[in-house]
Amino acid sequence: APGSLAKSPGRQRAYTYEDLGVETQFRYKNASEVATEKEIELFKKEAERAEDGIFKFGNAQKADLVAMGFTPEASKNNGAVKIWSRREPNGVKTWQASCTLPFAASHAWHNIASIPVHASWNSTVLEYYSVAPLEHNTDLTYTAACSDCGGLVSSRDFYIARRVAKRNLPDGRVSFGSGGVSVPVASDQGRPSRTRGWNDVSGFVVIAPPDDAESCSVVWVINSDLRGWVS
- Cβ atoms within 10 Å, residue 16: 12
Note the pLDDT of residue 193: 85
User: Three-state DSSP class for 95?
Assistant: strand
Nearest alpha-carbon partner for 63 in 72, 74, 54, 76:
72
pTM (two decimals)? 0.89
DSSP track, 3-72: -GGGG-----S---TTTTT----BSSS-GGGTS-HHHHHHHHHHHHHHHHHHHHHHS--HHHHHHTT-EE
Q: What is the DSSP letter of 147?
A: P
Note the pLDDT of residue 13: 61
Read off the pLDDT of residues 49-94 as tens digits, 9 standing for 90 and up. 999 999 999 999 999 999 999 999 998 888 899 999 999 999 999 9
**Amino acid code (one letter) for 75:** S
Query: pLDDT category, 136, cuts 50, 70, 90?
Result: very high
Q: Which helix (H) or strand (E) holds 217?
A: strand 216-222
Read off the pLDDT of residues 169-208 as tens digits, 9 standing for 90 and up. 998 999 999 999 999 999 998 888 899 999 999 999 999 9
What does residue 106 show for φ and ψ, rounded to 5 degrees?
A: -65, -35
Q: Which helix (H) or strand (E) holds 135?
A: strand 125-135
Note the pLDDT of residue 153: 67
Query: pLDDT category, 212, cuts 50, 70, 90?
Result: confident
Q: Which helix (H) or strand (E) holds 196?
A: strand 194-196
In percent, how much of the chain has pLDDT > 70?
Answer: 90
Contact between 166 and 208 under an 8 Å Cβ cutoff? The reply is no
Report the C-alpha gap between 176 and 111 in whole angstroms: 12
Nearest alpha-carbon partner for 164 in 47, 44, 60, 64:
47
Contact between 55 and 48 under an 8 Å Cβ cutoff? The reply is no
- Cβ atoms within 10 Å, residue 215: 14
**Amino acid code (one letter) for 8:** S
Pairing of strands 202-208, 138-145: unpaired
Report the C-alpha gap between 61 and 169 in whole angstroms: 12
Report the C-alpha gap between 74 and 63 in whole angstroms: 18
Give the range among 30-39, 135-144, 152-161 with minimum mean pLDDT. 152-161
